[in-house]
Amino acid sequence: MRVPSRHASSRRPLSVEMTPMIDVIFQLLIFFICTSSFLPPEEVLPTNLSLPGSTAETVPIDPIRQDLDEIVVKLLWRSGAPRWEVNSRQYARLDDVGGVLSAVAGVQVDLPVILEIEAAVPMENVIDVYDLCRRIGLQRVQFAASLGA
């Protein structure tokens, strides 16, 4: 049996235009990327989580990371040599202070660092501490001044 010619001409070939669909998919992808929020991983935050059946082991939290409001670096001059205090912890070498500040910069670079300098400290030691903070990448380095100065 033969198909009449009038029915054959009314049929159009089925085709789906892919270009508009791809454009819509790309726009949706860009929308979801722009509206998503990127949060820091939870493993960075110190937590005390105890699950049933687990052993309780307390991990000491570094005092520098425990209170991240500000970092106070005191530069002291004791018996002809500089001494450093970072949030009330004393250090005898500038490299040790650099290690602590590097750890802080790894967590939060816009944390304010306040430099408290004794009057007897030579200017070269002050510049060394300031340059160390800037080299590490800390963005907010400030000097503390007493009211009488």
Residue 8 has pLDDT above 70, yes or no: no
Domain count, the chain: 1
Q: What is the pLDDT of residue 27?
A: 95
Residue range of the domain that includes 115: 66-143
89, part of any domain:
yes
Span 74-126, pLDDT tens digits: 888 888 888 888 888 888 888 888 888 888 888 777 888 888 888 888 888 88
Partners of 89 in the beta sheet?
86
86, part of any domain:
yes
60, part of any domain:
no
Read off the pLDDT band of 64 (50, 70, 90): very low
16, part of any domain:
no
Find the CATH number of the domain harbouring 124: 3.30.420.270
> Which helix (H) or strand (E) is 101 found in, with range?
helix 94-107
Lowest mean pLDDT of 6-10, 83-87, 137-141, name the range: 6-10
CA–CA distances in Å: residue 23 to residues 14, 29, 36, 93, 108? 21, 10, 20, 59, 39
98, part of any domain:
yes
CA distance 117 to 127: 11
Read off the pLDDT band of 2 (50, 70, 90): low
> Which helix (H) or strand (E) is 115 found in, with range?
strand 112-117
